[in-house]
Amino acid sequence: MIKRIRKIFAILGIFGLVFVNSFPLTVNAAELTTESLLELLNNTTSTSDITESPVNSGDNQTMGLSNKQQAPTVDVVFSSSGAMQAGSMITATATPGFFNDASDPQKLYFTWYLKHSNCDLASSLDDGNRNCDLDGNGKITENDWKISAAKIIIKGSFDPVEAKYDAASNTGFDENSSGYKAKPSPLNEWEINSGASDNDKDASNCYVQASKSGLIYELRKTDAIFDDDDHQSCPDGYAKSCVSDQLASCDVLNPEYTPANISARQNEIDAAIAWNLANPGDLHVVPSQISKTIANDFGACAVSSNDPTCSVENDSDLKNFRATVSCSDGDVPMCVKDGGYTTFPFDATDPMDGTNPLLGIIFGKNIIGEAAEKETICSSIAKPNENTSPLDAPPNFLDNTQPAISSANEKCSVVKDEIINGNDTIEGDSTLDPVCAFKKDANLCKHLFAEIPGAVTGDGKFTLAEKQFWGADPTKPSTNGKGVDEENVVGLGVDKFSWLFSTGDQIGVVVEGDSAMPTEHADPSYKRMWAFSKGVCSELDDMEKGSSIDKDDPDKNTRGFYVEGDGTLTTGFLTAEVDLDDCLEENLLDPETDGAAKLTVQLNTSPANPINDPNGRGDVLNVAAGATNTQNPAGLLYKWSVQKSRDGSNAPIDTTSWQDITTGMENGGSFLAADLLGLGKKDLAINLNLQNDLIENGMVSSYAGGVFYLRIKVKISGTAADGSQNAEGSVVVRINQQQDEIKAYPVTANNAGMLAFDDSASGTTLCDDATGKTVCYVTKNEIIGVAIPKNSKSGTVPFSWTINGNPITCSSTVSAQCANGNVLFFPILGNVGEAVDVVAKSINKDNESVEVSRHFVIISPQIQIMAMDASTTWPKLLGYYKDLDGNRYPDYSTQVLETNSGVTATLGAIFYPSSKAGQAGFDWAIDGQIMGEYHNQSQIQIPVDKLSGESYNIGLVALYSPGSTDQVNNIRKALLKNWGISPEDVIEQNDSANIQLNVVDGAPSTVADGNKGSASASLITHLPEQMLFLFKISLTSILLLLTTGVLFAIMSQTKIIEKE
């Protein structure tokens, strides 16, 4: 038994040595440095939709616009000595993150708030919620929830019922001993906490990040600027105005007022009068004479108001810090002359003067309601004919019409465009497009501390009245022994909150402090921000859904911006007007549903830039799931799935459609079904050998073939110890599709040992079929040339090569082809069965890392004799075997073929690897005789003239050589010169193969037919040629002896007489 164990360990040790040499696990130091460099070069940064503008150009700071910065966070977990039920003491623990100073709780304000089941927000009180109004303002607000929690925090185990607050005032009570001065000060900086409507504009800044957009806003108001020392809305002599398309109703010549029409109408009048005189009982209506003028409406652009507003039109303008002068009701903002009309061209004379015709005009007054102005406009637009008697000929309609009121340019938008931009012949004036800007106004920052009437929380004084309100010990600076009382009110360092749970209780926490992000202001400050217990604030998200600024009601502005700088270095700041107290309700947590600790899972992947190769040489994508807040990690049930993005090579976004390809990847061998589901299966290894059809099918966007995206998802389920919680996690991985490949070539060498690809008729690529692209079989000491064909994405960086992890180079001393940067020559060194892995790395023109590999395995050359025509020659059927499922399969011999007498058997030589076929010289032997006529023929035809039961012994001897004698010597020179391989090492190799060709009756035999003969006959049939020869000699000798004995037995005895 011990000998057997030793033998097993010896075999395992040998296997381990082979495995380590075939798949080295070490990385060369220089290669690691190159890998790191490639990874750095391959890193890309996300870009927002911000476009170039004077504020955020390359010379200016735009850090404040980044929506990829991580704002502070806080996670809350619950613990309890028993179940989460009424009467249990529950502790909530807040863990902040992404604050400055490593999120040290002692430097942060934790404002806890507790909402009991009957204490919903309400503007009025009733008997059901009256006890919830803790600040006595007649309604229930978020401040009441804060007070509810703060009272519990401050008093700890102290019982205020026995406290003697009146007596404390007589014993030298020091209100400063229990006080704490919050920063920024609520007295002279963040004065909103002291009751002010807003703070001074230069007070300490604060910020908030919208959860959906990721944009960070400064909490403050902004004020519009039209004209100041740095801005001028319009040039001198012009005023900002709103203009609109208006109608002027003017009296113009009636086109029906012609002599013919007047005469005809007069006849109608006379006829009606005559009828009425003759028929007083049947009077007709007497028509009126045709009027000389009629009213007609004309379009014109005129000033509608002188009160435009400064606004931000859309999100793009907001992010680019662009303000726009706007008008309500669709009116057009424009700089118009302080007096008179604004004309185009600008030197045009009075509209009444036709010597310098107008191309456009903006009338200075509102047409509607201004009778005098209307009359002036009408006189400039059209004049009625002033002849008092009917004309001799029909007049032109709208006589003296000005071009300015033609339909082409009577609209304000058209006239403005001409005045601003000009036309082909007349230059415009862009300064007549009014401009505006914003400047920072009042600061809106405030602490979210609990506030009580008659006191300012965090002012540094904690009076007896405050002590009594909060239920604090009047004899001690600290009631709960964890910081002075006012520190506990503001929540300094209070990262835990414990209370006696009642059904329906909900709690939340908001954490205030300096984030890890510096401000963009010219000072050393960091952004002071808040983190909410659920990380949401719909007030901010809703703010971003609407218009940036309500131009019809500027007092309703909620988003804006302002710019600081000296003109050479300017920085923009987004602003918002929100009350963060409005965010508290949606961040309430329910201990009964959120549990003792929320089970979470996070996924990490490696390598950083995985490559998929349909030829089977892709990377292994390792995905590790890390579960947190679990009491039983080994009991977690993992369920994995994989999806691909339908957006092709485009980076996934919120609207990306994902297609599940888990089954397809399992069928393709990327992983096993057993890897996807089970206890403790926290790691998933994915073989990235996905075929093109699996990647391309179902794509809805263009797929360039270079990049695609996978989303790996995992769902974990905890045991009862984790509250039977579930959690899901996912990670999106960018996969590089292997578009490059390494092609292998045979090589030739010249007299100097210089190598080149063999471009002769026999010099084709090696291992170019599907099997060969996965594993290419080669033989020891031969030289292989490899090249990576150029493609549309090929870069200019030469490839770096390694073989089995060891760097190798290709220089001009090896081959002139090495100068291409994508070529390598190398010898096959090693023993039969070992692997040779060739890896090339570079950077393509898209600055992405490229890695391509080829797998070679060393084998001895092998040759096999095969039947080439199944109708005349076939392998002998030896029997059948069954697999574990009972399926029956035939078992054919590789050493014995069968044929029929009288046919021509066609046999062929098959070489492994196939590349050796062109290097082999070989001879055929039949029944021990070399057949010269078959020399170097890969196929032979043998007329079968033997009878059934007889057989042929077919032999084949091959000599492998890379070429002529001179070429062999040149290859030896190359091996010695380039790699120091001794000329004595063999590069020619011999091989042989033998088969027996049995002559049988009928079609291919079956097992049943074969069983009819004797066992000895079957054994003799399979004996080698030499054994059969010896067997025949033995039988002949025995037969001769038997014959001799028989002859002596039947012959009569003869006496020999000796003569004396």
**Nearest one of 863, 877, 869 to 909, comparing CA atoms:** 863
Determine how many CB atoms are found less than 10 A away from the CB of residue 751.
Answer: 9
Please write the tens of the pLDDT for every residue from 743-797: 888 888 898 889 888 876 455 788 887 777 788 888 888 888 999 887 756 667 7
- Residue 268 tokens, joined: 């109608």
Q: What percent of the chain has a predicted confidence (pLDDT) above 70?
A: 78
Mean pLDDT of the 431-453 span: 91
Q: Where are the alpha helices (DSSP H) in 433-574?
A: 464-470, 485-490, 538-545
**Nearest one of 786, 321, 326, 344 to 559, comparing CA atoms:** 321
Q: Which one is predicted more confidently, 961 or 232?
A: 232
Mean pLDDT of the 834-847 span: 84
Task: Name which of 8-17, 334-343, 569-578, 587-596 the model is least confident about.
Answer: 8-17
Q: Where are the alpha helices (DSSP H) in 757-800?
A: 770-774
DSSP state of 817: G
Residues 645, 658 contacting (CB under 8 angstroms): yes
Residues in the chain, how many?
1060
Identity of the residue numbered 259: P
pTM of the predicted model over 0.75: no
| pLDDT value for 337 | 86
Percent of the chain that is helix, strand, coil (3-state, to 5): 25, 30, 45
3-state secondary structure of 224: strand
DSSP state of 181: B
Helix (H) or strand (E) holding 417: helix 412-421
Mean pLDDT of the 343-357 span: 61
Identity of the residue numbered 720: A
| pLDDT value for 644 | 92
Q: How far apart are CA 825 and CA 831, in angstroms?
A: 19
Q: How far apart are CA 732 and CA 709, in angstroms?
A: 7
**Nearest one of 27, 43, 42 to 850, comparing CA atoms:** 42
For the chain, the straight-line distance linking the first and the last C-alpha, in angstroms and rounded, comes to 82
pLDDT score of 546 more than 90: no
Please write the tens of the pLDDT for every residue from 6-23: 444 444 444 443 333 333
Q: Which one is predicted more confidently, 795 or 478?
A: 478
What Å distances lie between residue 1024 and 896, 924, 929, 1028, 1054, CA to CA?
Answer: 10, 17, 15, 6, 47
Beta bridge partners of 451: none
Q: How far apart are CA 214 and CA 34, in angstroms?
A: 35
Query: Within 13 A of 289's CA, how many CA atoms are on the CB side?
Result: 12
Residues 6+ apart with CB under 8 A from 299: 245, 246, 247, 405, 407, 410, 411
| pLDDT value for 353 | 52
Q: What percent of the chain has a predicted confidence (pLDDT) above 90?
A: 25
| pLDDT value for 1049 | 74
Please write the tens of the pLDDT for every residue from 872-884: 899 988 888 888 8
Q: Which one is predicted more confidently, 397 or 370?
A: 370
- Residue 1010 tokens, joined: 């074969």
Please write the tens of the pLDDT for every residue from 603-656: 999 888 888 888 887 889 999 999 887 778 888 999 999 999 988 888 887 678
**Nearest one of 577, 654, 49 to 318, comparing CA atoms:** 49
pLDDT tier at 161, thresholds 50, 70, 90: confident
- Residue 282 tokens, joined: 């049947």
Residues 6+ apart with CB under 8 A from 835: 22, 23, 804, 855, 856, 857, 858
Residues 225, 439 contacting (CB under 8 angstroms): yes
Please write the tens of the pLDDT for every residue from 1003-1025: 775 444 444 443 344 445 455 55
| pLDDT value for 1008 | 41
Q: How far apart are CA 630 and CA 628, in angstroms?
A: 6
| pLDDT value for 356 | 57
| pLDDT value for 22 | 38
